[in-house]
Homo-oligomer: A and B are copies of this chain.
């Protein structure tokens, strides 16, 4: 079995005997105000997707990737996370610790040696690595290593044929720190996702921005029609909708700030995060997680270190509900 994940609302509904519709689900880092999906034309459902539909050019422009960078739409960045380890012979690969657990799992499954690396230990360990996965900004901590330092890591790895794989699933609220502008450099692989900022996790849309040869190799591993036609069609439209993107970045910043105020009021001041989620280390995280769930609020629990991750409430009414529930919970927990 692979790693566990947030977003399992059906299971929580059963475990706590609360109907799915009664939950406030803050267990993901998904924008609760998604890009408004238009009606998908019949022929898009009907016809096989075609790789030459122009989506790659739209995506390259959106990401600020160079014209000669490869750009492969994938069925969520998860598809690239699963496929990329199959493109290299067995090697030593560093994965961020803590960090999204799927990276380590799939490199291991493909026979590689996985080395957990803390963000302050990379410089000491990089000489022993053939590849390094970096989550930028990190999930769940929100830590963003400066771009210069990432490019230096890349240069070190690339000089001996290595890879820096940068998972930018949560970069969209702060696109200025993306490594996409360098995605034509040998050994630099950038993953982007439509799931989080666009709020379209169900769509399963993502991108690999990397040298053409790497994109072609991943395309071969993933096979034909790996991304559904409605997904490609909606990706092209959402990536081109810069008006919505600008408004969404503003709303996310405001909503994250309001959430911080509420969390801080109940002894859970965030230690970090991104505008899409807030990260709150707390020694009694498991207890708080359980007591919130008993009251129909699902957040994400991390055990090492002991912490909670809160997604954004979609509006002031749900923020109020969180506020009141935390008031009861944190009183009970500390009494």
Interface of A is mostly: loop
A78-B224, A225-B78, A226-B75 as given contacts; A45 in contact with B106, CB under 8 Å: no
- Of A197-205, A252-260, A264-272, which stretch is located at the interface? A197-205
On whether the beta carbons of A42 and B37 are closer than 8 Å, the reply is yes
User: What 1/0 flags go to A202-217 for Cβ under 8 Å of B?
Assistant: 1110000000000000
For the complex, what is the distance from the CA of A45 to the CA of B33, rounded to whole Å? 12
The distance in angstroms between the C-alpha atoms of A195 and B47, with both chains bound, is 9
Within 8 A of B (CB), among A198-255: 199-204, 220, 223-231, 234
| CB interface residues, A 293-324, toward B, < 8 Å | none
Contact of A327 with B by CB under 8 A: no
By the criterion CB–CB under 8 Å, are A223 and B44 in contact?
no
Closest chain-B Cβ to A299's Cβ sits at a distance in Å of: 16
B202 touches A46 (CB 8 A): yes
Q: Which residues of B contact A226 (CB under 8 A)?
A: 75
- Can you show 23 pairs from A to B with CB atoms below 8 A apart? A1-B220, A7-B47, A8-B50, A10-B52, A10-B53, A11-B50, A11-B52, A34-B42, A34-B45, A34-B46, A37-B40, A40-B40, A43-B202, A45-B202, A45-B234, A46-B199, A46-B200, A46-B201, A75-B226, A79-B223, A202-B230, A203-B228, A228-B231
